[in-house]
Amino acid sequence: MASAKELTDQGFNLYAKGEMDSAIALLKQAIATDPDYLEAHRTIAMCYGKKKMLDEAVAAANRMIEIDPNDNLAYVSLSIFLQRQGKIPEAEAAMAKATAVQSSAKK
């Protein structure tokens, strides 16, 4: 049985080739294998964003934040997806959090 990392790597390669549906299927398997594997959620969020499945992309970004509240890229992703949904105040708040997390990491 493939590990979450292996499935995520395969899913990312499919994402890079533009094969979003196949990538999403593999990434869902990766998440089922290890629900806390951050990179699987990050990659599936990118796939959902590419497919304009913004509710799913927001959910994946929020899951990244649950897994690692200090991952500033998760907040950046969330901000981008919220902005694309037209939720500007929420997007600005997510970006502010990304900046705060990044600043605290540098200390």
- The confidence band for 103, taking pLDDT boundaries of 50, 70 and 90, is confident
Average the pLDDT over 93-101 and give the result: 93
Q: Which residue has the tokens 């493939």?
A: 2
Listing DSSP states for the chain in one string gives ---HHHHHHHHHHHHHTT-HHHHHHHHHHHHHH-TT-HHHHHHHHHHHHHTT-HHHHHHHHHHHHHH-TT-HHHHHHHHHHHHHTT-HHHHHHHHHHHHHHHHHHH-
Q: Which pTM does this prediction carry?
A: 0.93
Does residue 19 register a pLDDT over 90?
yes
The distance from CA 58 to its chain's CA centroid, rounded to whole angstroms, is: 8
Q: Letter for the amino acid at 37?
A: Y
pLDDT of residue 42: 97
In the chain, % of residues over pLDDT 90: 93
pLDDT of residue 105: 73
pLDDT of residue 25: 98
Which domains are delineated in the chain?
A: 4-106 (1.25.40.10)
pLDDT tens, 47-95?
A: 999 999 999 999 999 999 999 999 999 999 999 999 999 999 999 999 9
pLDDT of residue 107: 62
